[in-house]
């Protein structure tokens, strides 16, 4: 598929939808369509709006259109020994830059190297007034004050159509290694804190229910020194690459069930044993994947008790909302933002919260 700028075509579609008060569901390749609540609207396909617009390796920044496949961006960066540090999920291999930012999903490297939101320098947005707007820039110094560019990250397209994004990239570390440790899940955080205080080059800490897997990324000397101190059993490089890709892309056997998959987001140090059921732990314990048909209200009350939240990430029963309901004050702020960006509520109605458009 050739690169193409379809800004004008997409604006025309949005203008027509505004004239007819026709809701639109923003869709790229559809790899993350399962995430969030269902949308009953006409499709607005952005998958053909694609291509790397600019890439300055010496400035550590790349700008790409929303429909550009993540795999294509990764390949472009790899030629210069650089990478997207937030390790966005490919989810079936077809994920796009626009989808990565709209969902805000980040991979195992996120707690150590930064999130999707952290790496956004600027975006071009087609808002619900039919206006083409640019927020932020292509250098970090432009990110100041009310950061509208990052506000659109994880908004699930409810504020507008992300057309283009400028992202901070980082040099790819020259050495990697993964070790397997016989450590219980509740010790993830304490061990991780200890290793970080020691300056170990962590880039992934996950527990599969039986073992703790620790990925190290950095200079060869730093990785070798960490290996000698952490102990455990080194994992074959090929197996390690396959494991971390399966965590990133949710192809690990834990995620392949048809049961509901819950994402429990927690502050550091919460004991995962508070949550019953099959678990896969990532982000050194701050992200617990929980499998099973749990009572949504009870699970969310429990997550709140420990300072977190519970999202039904995949295989969501129709009787529940995907995201934990907001209290009155944050919901009012969300509604005000929605009204400012998308006053006719044409973009992805109900995808984030069913009552977001009720302002």
The pairing of strands 261-265 and 287-291 is: antiparallel
Q: How confident is the model at residue 136 (pLDDT cuts 50, 70, 90)?
A: confident
Helix (H) or strand (E) holding 246: helix 237-249
Asked if residue 145 has pLDDT above 80, the reply is: no
Q: How far apart are CA 27 and CA 29, in angstroms?
A: 6
The predicted-structure confidence for 90-127, as pLDDT tens digits, reads as follows: 998 889 999 999 999 999 999 999 999 999 999 999 99
Task: Please report the pLDDT score of residue 194 as a whole number.
Answer: 97
Q: How far apart are CA 246 and CA 255, in angstroms?
A: 9
Q: How confident is the model at residue 137 (pLDDT cuts 50, 70, 90)?
A: low
Q: How far apart are CA 340 and CA 129, in angstroms?
A: 9
Q: How far apart are CA 315 and CA 317, in angstroms?
A: 6
- 76 exposure class (CB count in 10 Å sphere: 0-12, 13-18, 19+): middle
What is the mean predicted confidence (pLDDT) over 168-196? 96
Q: How far apart are CA 70 and CA 87, in angstroms?
A: 10
Task: Please report the pLDDT score of residue 144 as a whole number.
Answer: 44
Task: Please report the pLDDT score of residue 143 as a whole number.
Answer: 43
| Length of the chain counted residue by residue | 359
Asked if residue 1 has pLDDT above 70, the reply is: no
What is the mean predicted confidence (pLDDT) over 68-84? 97
Q: How far is CA 68 from CA 64, 172, 335, in A?
A: 7, 21, 30
What is the mean predicted confidence (pLDDT) over 315-338? 94
Write down all domains in the chain, each with its CATH number in brackets. 7-171 (3.30.465.10), 175-249 (3.30.70), 253-314 (3.30.70)
For residue 230, give both structure tokens: 């952490």
Contact 50, 98 (CB under 8 A): no
Phi and psi at residue 12, in whole multiples of 5°? -60, -40
Percent of the chain's residues with pLDDT above 90: 92
Please tell me the pTM assigned to this model.
0.93
Task: Please report the pLDDT score of residue 357 as a whole number.
Answer: 84
Asked if residue 237 has pLDDT above 70, the reply is: yes
Q: How far apart are CA 232 and CA 222, in angstroms?
A: 17
The predicted-structure confidence for 2-51, as pLDDT tens digits, reads as follows: 789 999 999 999 999 999 999 999 999 999 999 999 999 999 999 999 99
Q: How far is CA 41 from CA 13, 79, 315, in A?
A: 13, 40, 21
Task: Please report the beta strands in the chain, taking only residues with DSSP state E, as ranges in sequence order.
Answer: 24-27, 42-45, 52-56, 61-65, 82-83, 120-126, 132-136, 161-168, 170-171, 175-181, 202-207, 212-218, 233-234, 261-265, 279-282, 287-291, 309-314
């Amino acid at each position: 598929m050739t690169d193409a700028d379809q800004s004008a075509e997409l604006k025309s579609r949005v203008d027509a939808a505004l004239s007819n008060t026709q809701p639109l569901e923003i869709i790229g390749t559809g790899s993350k369509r399962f995430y969030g609540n269902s949308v009953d609207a006409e499709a607005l396909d952005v998958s053909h709006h694609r291509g790397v617009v600019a890439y300055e390796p010496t400035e550590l920044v790349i700008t790409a259109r929303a429909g550009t496949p993540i795999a294509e961006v990764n390949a472009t960066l790899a030629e210069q020994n650089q990478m997207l540090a937030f390790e966005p999920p490919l989810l079936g291999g077809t994920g796009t830059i626009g989808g990565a930012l709209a969902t805000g999903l980040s991979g195992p490297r996120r707690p150590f190297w930064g999130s999707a939101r952290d790496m956004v320098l600027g975006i071009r947005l087609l808002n619900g007034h039919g206006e083409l707007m640019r927020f932020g820039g292509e250098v970090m110094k432009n990110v100041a004050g009310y950061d509208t560019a990052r506000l659109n990250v994880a908004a699930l397209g409810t504020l507008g159509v992300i057309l283009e994004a400028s992202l901070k990239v980082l040099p790819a570390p020259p050495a990697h290694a993964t070790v397997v440790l016989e450590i219980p899940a509740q010790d993830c955080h304490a061990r991780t804190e200890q290793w970080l205080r020691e300056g170990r080059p962590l880039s992934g800490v996950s527990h599969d229910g039986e073992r703790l897997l620790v990925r190290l990324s950095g200079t060869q000397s730093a990785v070798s020194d960490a290996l000698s101190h952490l102990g455990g059993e080194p994992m074959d490089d090929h197996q390690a690459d396959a494991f971390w890709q399966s965590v990133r892309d949710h192809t690990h056997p834990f995620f392949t069930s048809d049961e509901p998959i819950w994402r429990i987001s927690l502050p550091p140090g919460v004991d995962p044993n508070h949550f019953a059921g099959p678990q896969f732990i990532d982000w050194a314990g701050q992200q617990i994947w929980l499998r099973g048909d749990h009572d949504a209200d009870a699970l969310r009350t429990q997550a709140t008790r420990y300072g977190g939240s519970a999202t039904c990430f995949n295989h969501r029963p129709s009787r529940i909302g995907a995201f934990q309901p907001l209290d009155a004050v944050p919901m009012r702020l969300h509604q005000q933002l929605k009204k400012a960006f998308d006053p006719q509520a044409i973009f992805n109605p109900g995808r984030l919260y069913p009552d977001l458009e009720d302002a």
